[in-house]
Structure 1
Amino acid sequence: MATSIFNLTRDSFGGLALTLEDGQRFEGVSPVRAFPIQSPDQGISLVLHDGKEVAWIDDMADLPPGVRALLQDELDGREFMPEIVHIASVSSFATPCTWFVKTDRGTTEFVLKDEGDIRRIGDASLLVADNHGIHFLVRNMFTIDKHSRKILDRFL
């Protein structure tokens, strides 16, 4: 379904309501990214509670600003994957160890239980899982700062 033939609003309960060009209205739709790490702004499906797809968005950039902001707000509320932008230090190069990092959501620390909790996603991205199951994203390990890259290299 083309991105230009629907409207997206909040319903009276705060959920998303989708109205198609032909007037069909769907309450409680949820956005689901097809490729949340590699292409987070492309390939987004709007689905009902039973998983049935009712609309497809090729690229969020094609949406009107209000709809795009509403969709981004909903995705941000559903997904929690802070992006590591700098690794300040680690308590040890043996696991378990505590990582002190700066993310796109602020500074934090977490415990890495095992080197196996660092997974490669594609050629350049990494997912780092802490001891509570929270996933941190390193979007591109080749463009992160030199200090952070050096720490990552010790664990990879």
Structure 2
Amino acid sequence: MSTQTFTLGRDSHGRLTLTTSDGTQHEGVVPVRAFPISAPDDGLSLVSSDGHELVWIDRLEALAADQRTLISEDLALREFTPTIQRITDVSTFATPSTWSVDTDRGPTTFVLKTEDDIRRLGGGRLLIASGQGMQFGVPQVADLDRHSRKLLERFL
């Protein structure tokens, strides 16, 4: 389906709705990025509540501002990834270990089960998965303070 042949809105429960050019309305539509880490704004599907792709969008920026806003709001809720700004403490340099960090959402602690839960994304970026399933981002390792980098290097 062409990106020009649909409209987006919200139902009374705040869920995303899609109306196709033939008037068919789909409730509970979910935006899904094809490449959420390497190309977050390229390739996005709007998927029905039963998991079927309804619309393919080549570039998020190609959409009208109101459609882009609705999709971005939904993605922000689904892809909540606090950014680590500082690592204040690590319980042990063996895993599992408890990390105390300051994020853009405030201070928190999490358990790192294995070193494999720290993924290098390229360009100095990291994605760290906690034992509880939460993802934490480090946009640029080099931008962390010296103490944080020193603690992190023990696990990389």
Q: Could you tell me how far apart the structure 2 residues matched to 1:87 and 1:124 are? A: 16
Match of 2:9? 9
Give TM-score scaled by structure 2 length: 0.81
Once the two structures are TM-superposed, the CA of residue 32 in structure 1 deviates from its matched residue by: 0.7
1:62-77 equivalences under 5 Å are 62-77=62-77
Deviates more, 1:44-53 or 1:57-66: 57-66
Number of residue-to-residue matches in the alignment? 155
Match of 1:144? 143
Q: Could you tell me how far apart the structure 2 residues matched to 1:106 and 1:89 are? A: 15
Instruction: Say if 1:2 and 1:58, in contact at 8 Å, map to a contact too.
Output: no
Unaligned runs of 5+ in 1: none
- What is the alpha-carbon root mean square deviation over aligned residues? 2.4
Q: Could you tell me how far apart the structure 1 residues matched to 2:72 and 2:106 are? A: 19
Aligned amino acid, residue 136 of structure 2: F
Match of 2:104? 104
1:37-48 equivalences under 5 Å are 37-48=37-48
Aligned amino acid, residue 152 of structure 1: L
Match of 1:30? 30
1:85-96 equivalences under 5 Å are 85-96=85-96
Instruction: Say if 1:112 and 1:131, in contact at 8 Å, map to a contact too.
Output: yes
Match of 2:134? 134
Aligned amino acid, residue 32 of structure 1: V
Q: Could you tell me how far apart the structure 2 residues matched to 1:137 and 1:128 are? A: 6
Give SS of 2:28's match.
Answer: strand
Aligned amino acid, residue 14 of structure 2: G
Q: Could you tell me how far apart the structure 1 residues matched to 2:144 and 2:122 are? A: 19
Match of 1:60? 60
